[in-house]
C-alpha cells in the first residue's frame, strides 16, 4: 500500500495529468497533483533543534535529558566519549528507540525516552547525528536536537585528542 502511494506521489510530481486511483473497485476518483501533494506532504516534520558546547557541558547535571553518541564503538575507543552520553550507533538508533522500555533500560542503564524527552544527538562532526535526530523525529520524538560541532568541538574545547 505504501509503495502504491509513493508511486502515485512520484507520478504526480512528474506529470500534469490527474491520477486515477481505485478507492473502491466500483468507483474511481481523480486526484489532482496539488491535492495529492497536499495529502502526502502536508504534515510538517518537527524541527531539529541545535545545541552548542555550553548546553552539552551542563548535561551531567540534567539527567532528564538524554545525550546519544551515534558513532561506532571503535570510534569511541579511539577518542573517548562525552560524559553522560550513551552510545547507540546510527545504524541501529531507530531500532533501539523503538525497543521496549524494559529492553532499553537493560541495555543502556537509562529510562527509554518519552516522546517529549529532550534527546540530543552527537557524532564526530554533526552529520550522522543530524540523521539520527531526523530518524527520532520520524518515530514521534518531538524534542530532538543536534550538537552540530559534536566530538570535534567538544574535544577542542576540553583539550582532548580529536
Contacts of 88 (CB under 8 A, 6+ apart): 68, 69, 70, 96, 97, 108, 132
Contact 113, 66 (CB under 8 A): yes
Distances from the Cα of 25 to the Cαs of 22, 45, 124, in angstroms?
A: 6, 33, 53
Catalytic residue among 123, 132, 133, 135: 123
Active site residue 6: no
- Provide φ and ψ at 72, rounded to 5°: -75, 150
Q: Tell me how far apart the alpha carbons of residues 144 and 16 are, in angstroms, rounded to a whole number.
A: 37
CA dihedral 29, 45, 16, 11 (to 10 degrees): -70
Cell of 15: 506529470
Q: Tell me how far apart the alpha carbons of residues 137 and 115 are, in angstroms, rounded to a whole number.
A: 9
Active-site residue set? 123
Amino acid at each position: 500500500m505504501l509503495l502504491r502511494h509513493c508511486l502515485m506521489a512520484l507520478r504526480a510530481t512528474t506529470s500534469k495529468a490527474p491520477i486515477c486511483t481505485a478507492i473502491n473497485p466500483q468507483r474511481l476518483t481523480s486526484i489532482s497533483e496539488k491535492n495529492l501533494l497536499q495529502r502526502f506532504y502536508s504534515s510538517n516534520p518537527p524541527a531539529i533543534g541545535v545545541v552548542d558546547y555550553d548546553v552539552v557541558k551542563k548535561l551531567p547535571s540534567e539527567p532528564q535529558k538524554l545525550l546519544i553518541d551515534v558513532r561506532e564503538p571503535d570510534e569511541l575507543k579511539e577518542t573517548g566519549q562525552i560524559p553522560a552520553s550513551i552510545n547507540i550507533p546510527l545504524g541501529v538508533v531507530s531500532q533501539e528507540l523503538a525497543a521496549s522500555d524494559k529492553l532499553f533500560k537493560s541495555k543502556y542503564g537509562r529510562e527509554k525516552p518519552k516522546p517529549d524527552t529532550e534527546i540530543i544527538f552527537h557524532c564526530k562532526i554533526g552529520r550522522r547525528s543530524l540523521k539520527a535526530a531526523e530518524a527520532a523525529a520520524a518515530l514521534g520524538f518531538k524534542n530532538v536536537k543536534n550538537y552540530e560541532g559534536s566530538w570535534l568541538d567538544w574535544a577542542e574545547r576540553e583539550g582532548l585528542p580529536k
